[in-house]
Structure 1
């Protein structure tokens, strides 16, 4: 891995989350990070939540990339892929998280919306929230009524991170 910082001021090089390959940046960052923590969040992740974010990123890479792509990703200090539908996580407060996907062009900035907007006339999520970080991740991995099996298997294989 190179020690050069190719991202300029787009992501915070000195943030503690960066050591876990988590970009700390705007939800509309110039680089296509696979996982971003919104630098405008009202609260910071706890140590446990940091491990959960890092595990989410590891699962994404494990699930979607072959050995060659994993090697290419590892060449930079943060994981970047213009073809990936990157995720930005936002922490409103204790046990209250939201997320967005880079591909979103309409709708709320984050789901669930910020607490002061929940249940209001323009809340497209019908008052959803608060959700814990794991509940938000389960929602990301849900297509029908329950999270996809590969995500359930990942969580089961990593009880040190996902222990309830």
Structure 2
């Protein structure tokens, strides 16, 4: 168990969750801290071990691209989770097997998650036709501004991403 005095995030993130050991914040859909990558603790399902590895790899790719090995990355590494007030982190949510959504922390209007929840997809099929999507497909969508870089990352990590080049 981690020393509670060293936990700077209070109740905003769960300290003893297995994902926390991978530096993935287990938090709410609207956390107070600017985590680089989070998992919504209100999710209906938990990530599998393979999905947890994908979440950790997504975080690694983000840090490698945006920070490299600079002083700020080293400073972030001193905390148990990666936070950056200038980052637009991603929160992932899992509704069921191969049924994931994501949101950016900066989103203030529009759907809460993309794709929307199964309940909303069923209720409004003409307005929310997207989904369900696997975690990898959701990550592909979250990288829509840099798909080539992301596809290369996946190709370089076939032990984690079994279908390099697959897009949403």
- Deviation per residue, 1:13-36 (Å, 9 max, x gap): 000000000000101111111111
Matched, 1:159 2:146: no
Report the Cα distance in structure 1 between the residues aligned to 2:22 and 2:35, rounded to whole angstroms: 13
Report the Cα distance in structure 1 between the residues aligned to 2:151 and 2:124, rounded to whole angstroms: 35
Q: Is the 8 A contact 1:96 1:132 kept in 2?
A: yes
Alignment partner, residue 131 of structure 2: 129
Alignment partner, residue 22 of structure 1: 24
Distance 1:119 1:42, change over 3 A: closer
* SS of match in other structure, 2:94: strand
- Deviation per residue, 1:116-138 (Å, 9 max, x gap): 111644975x3100000000000
Alignment partner, residue 150 of structure 1: 149
Deviation of residue 104 (structure 1)?
0.3
Provide the aligned length of Structure 1 versus Structure 2. 159
Alignment partner, residue 62 of structure 1: 64
**In terms of mean alpha carbon deviation, does 90-99 or 57-66 score higher?**
57-66
Matched, 1:110 2:109: no
* SS of match in other structure, 1:16: coil
How high is the TM-score relative to the length of structure 1? 0.91
1:77 alignment partner, one of 66, 77, 80: 80
How high is the TM-score relative to the length of structure 2? 0.89
Structure 1: runs of 5+ lacking an equivalent: none
2:89 alignment partner, one of 66, 69, 86: 86
* SS of match in other structure, 2:160: helix
- RMSD (Å) for aligned C-alpha atoms: 1.7
Alignment partner, residue 166 of structure 2: none
Report the Cα distance in structure 2 between the residues aligned to 1:152 and 1:112, rounded to whole angstroms: 21
